[in-house]
A and B are shown apart, each in its own frame.
Chain A
Amino acid sequence: MLVGAVFLASCVEMVEALTIVLAVGHTRGWRSAFEGTGAALLVLGALVAAFGPALVHVPLSVLRLIVGAVLLIFGMQWLRKSILRASGLKAKHDEDAVYEESVATLRAAGTSIGRDRIAFVMAFKGVFLEGLEVVILVITLGTSAHQLGLASNVAGIAVVLVGLCGVIVAKQLSSVPENLLKMSVGVLLVTYGTFWTGEGLKVRWPGGDTMLLGLAAIYSVVTYLFVLSMRRETSAQTQGASA
């Protein structure tokens, strides 16, 4: 489950980062896009190297409580967003639209002579901000489960895979079922968040780690019921508007 959560979360964030990098590369040239991406990856690597080992010295119960709370909040945010999108109350995250928007912004900035600062900053910002979310998830999930190495490797594989897919599919990232991925990650994050918040507060879960499966099943059913109920709400709103 840890592997699945880290892998899926990394994929979702990296698809978003890749959209921006592709927009920068196609519009303003690949050199600045790659430089910005490389610089962001270096800074993110330094952050993992600096904060990852330091977290090992924090008492486990305190660490699990903080990690649990962060994952619970973040997971609920992802679940809320994906439920609203699945029920039609919120527009689906359209990578094509994000791509077009980024291209328009970059074209409006005009051309630059020499090193393209705008392209560098945009690629750096896109990769750094999306990557920072991956770093937080890797560090929090990895340290709490005492598997920081495994979590880092899985995130690395996800980043490489998404990068390769980006090269193959070019800019057709809208074909990635992002909302379904986001919903699955949301369920896993809330599951881990609940579990570790409890562990941090000295709750003894029946069955130990096996309870993670039980919590994931509960939250999956809850999510399904919320989507059904919200879809009914959406269709009632649509009928009310057309009447």
Chain B
Amino acid sequence: MNERPNVVFRLIRGFGQFWWDFLVGDTPELFVAALVIIGVIALLSERGHFNAAAIVVLPVLATLALAGSLVRAVRLSRRK
């Protein structure tokens, strides 16, 4: 009787673990950056000239996020 909840719990935990590793893993900064990008574009949508701004801001923020993550990786490698 106790086996079933245990298996279900393990399955749920495994499923959550997979998504955590898939989306966050060892680069939480990229996960946060994606949320910030969505937030910024959503905020821009309330302003005038939304489309023109979003077209520029979206790839620029993605590039900055990648640059930030690379800088973090370099710093971590220097510490080792």
Q: Is the CB of B73 within 8 A of A89?
A: yes
Quick one: closest B residue to A215, CB to CB? B59
Report A-chain residues with C-beta under 8 Å of the C-beta of B31. Answer: 73
Interface size on A, residues (CB 8 A): 37
Report A-chain residues with C-beta under 8 Å of the C-beta of B63. Answer: 219, 222
Residues of chain A whose beta carbon lies under 8 Å from any beta carbon of chain B: 65, 69-70, 72-74, 76-77, 79-80, 83-84, 89-90, 129, 132-133, 136, 190, 193-194, 197-198, 201-206, 215, 218-219, 222, 226, 230, 233, 237
Q: Is the CB of A226 within 8 A of B67?
A: yes
26 A-B Cβ contacts within 8 A?
Answer: A69-B34, A72-B62, A76-B27, A76-B65, A83-B66, A83-B70, A84-B73, A89-B73, A89-B74, A129-B18, A197-B34, A198-B41, A198-B55, A201-B38, A201-B54, A203-B50, A203-B54, A203-B58, A204-B51, A205-B55, A206-B55, A226-B67, A226-B70, A230-B74, A233-B74, A237-B77
Interchain residue pairs A-B with the least CB separation, the first 3: A203-B54, A76-B30, A73-B34
Chain A nearest CB from B13 CB (Å) reads 15
From B27, B50, B54, B55, A77 is in contact (CB under 8 Å) with B27
Our count of residue pairs bridging A and B at CB distance below 8 angstroms stands at: 89
Report B-chain residues with C-beta under 8 Å of the C-beta of A83. Answer: 66, 70
Q: Is the CB of A190 within 8 A of B51?
A: no
- In the complex, A69→B65 CA distance in Å? 13
